Chains A and B, each alone.
Chain A
Amino acid sequence: MIANINGILIIDLVLLTLVIITAVAVVEVRNLFSAVILAGIYSLLMAAFWTSMDAVDVAYTEAAVGAGISTILLLGALVLTGTQETVRRAVHWPALLACVLVGGLLIFGTLDMPKFGSPNAPAQQHPIYHGFTKQNVPKAEGGKSAEDVYAYNTLHPEDAGKHPDYFHGHVPNQVTSVIVSYRALDTMFETAVIFTAAMAMIVLLRGRRGNPLKGGLL
């Protein structure tokens, strides 16, 4: 009986239980300093959870952004505001109802998704998983193009895996490959969006502390 229990499942359950406890604690705690640190712990637990789900890049980003920079920025904001929440609000019933409804709908939506790790999931079955990239340009000198290798592998399924070099020329980390090669234009405009956000902050806030009519670039 005990041997049948999936070890990863236990780790996931423990992590998710801790995540829920931390989330409730963030909402309930009245000291804002504790709330910020708890939010950082929440992100760190989520990063551990992503790692256990094999989504290492997501975990990396969660740890760097969620546990790192947002915790530090919120600590910087605490310097401006003080650390104690002043007003203790009563439960807002319509808001609670809306949250429960939306949460229930989201959980209802996940019922249509394939089971975790299922070999029949579209991610495992979709043709793009086998062809992966249908590029006409051979990436290595004298190498076969992705189209050629895909066609060969389709005709000779017994040789599958012998010609894995249709991904040659891209980098070992496929996430980076997708982000800055296949979707390079997308990432370029994401960078531009971040840059625009900084420009907006500079135009609106720089030099205006204490007097909205002074300073700024506009």
Chain B
Amino acid sequence: MKQGNLSDNVLMRIVARWNMPFILIFALYTQTHGELGPGGGFQAGVMIAAAFILYGLVFGADEMRRIVPRWVSDGIAALGVLIYAGAGMYCMLMGYEFLDYAALYPSNPGGAEPWGMTTVEYGVGLTVSAVMLTVYNEITEGTGPGSAEPRDSNNDTEVVGKV
């Protein structure tokens, strides 16, 4: 089995390319129906990240980083937490308790709950997807087709020796 880059394999390329939209659509379904059925922001975020990592596995991590640059994934990770905490702060500013979603729709507190839950679920989904991409980005750094050969365990001693 060829290491490092699977894009020479026609079957892998076609399967990855054709599966990605379905994974993303299903992730969006999970995200938007989190309050109605099983699933939610965490699962949706993991699935979105899985789709991009699958792309990175087949076409190379550098190609994946071209689509989603690292400053984008860093920003999205922070944005998700900001959305979640911001929803809570908004409720406080409106005179309610922290994360008391009734603040979003004061005339109908019952109807406000799903709004608040959906908002914070989007925050969770954004953060989780970006964090999973970051994990993949950091462990594959410098292993693309343009960079050095994939390391084997023998090279580790060499690296230590340089220091």
**A residues whose Cβ falls under 8 Å from a Cβ of B:** 33, 56-57, 59-61, 64-65, 68-69, 72-73, 75-77, 79-83, 86, 137-141, 143, 168-173, 175-177, 179-181, 184-185, 187-188, 191-192, 194-195, 197-198, 201-202, 205-207, 209-213
Q: Please classify the interface of chain B as helix (H, G, I), strand (E, B), loop, or mixed, using the class held by over half of its residues.
A: helix
Assess whether B21 is interfacial by the CB under 8 Å rule.
no
**B35 and A192 contact, CB distance less than 8 A:** no
What 0/1 readout, one digit per residue, does chain B (25-58) give for beta carbons within 8 Å of chain A?
A: 0000010001111111111001101100110110
CA distance A75 to B3 in the complex (A): 11
Q: Are A76 and B139 also in contact (CB < 8 A) when A139-B113, A194-B127, A198-B134 are? A: yes
Q: What's the minimum C-beta distance from B76 to chain A, rounded to whole angstroms?
A: 10
CA distance A141 to B102 in the complex (A): 12
Number of interface residues of B (CB under 8 A): 72
26 CB-based A-B contacts, threshold 8 Å: A57-B39, A60-B30, A64-B46, A69-B50, A72-B53, A73-B53, A73-B139, A76-B139, A79-B3, A80-B151, A82-B3, A82-B152, A138-B109, A139-B109, A139-B113, A169-B110, A173-B37, A176-B34, A180-B116, A180-B117, A181-B117, A184-B99, A185-B99, A194-B131, A198-B135, A201-B138
**A191 and B123 contact, CB distance less than 8 A:** yes
**A76 and B107 contact, CB distance less than 8 A:** no
**B35 and A213 contact, CB distance less than 8 A:** no
B135 contacts which of A82, A187, A201 (Cβ < 8 Å)?
Answer: A201
B140 contacts which of A79, A83, A138 (Cβ < 8 Å)?
Answer: A79
Report chain B residues within 8 Å CB of A179.
Answer: 40
Q: Can you name the residue of chain B whose Cβ is closest to the Cβ of A212?
A: B163
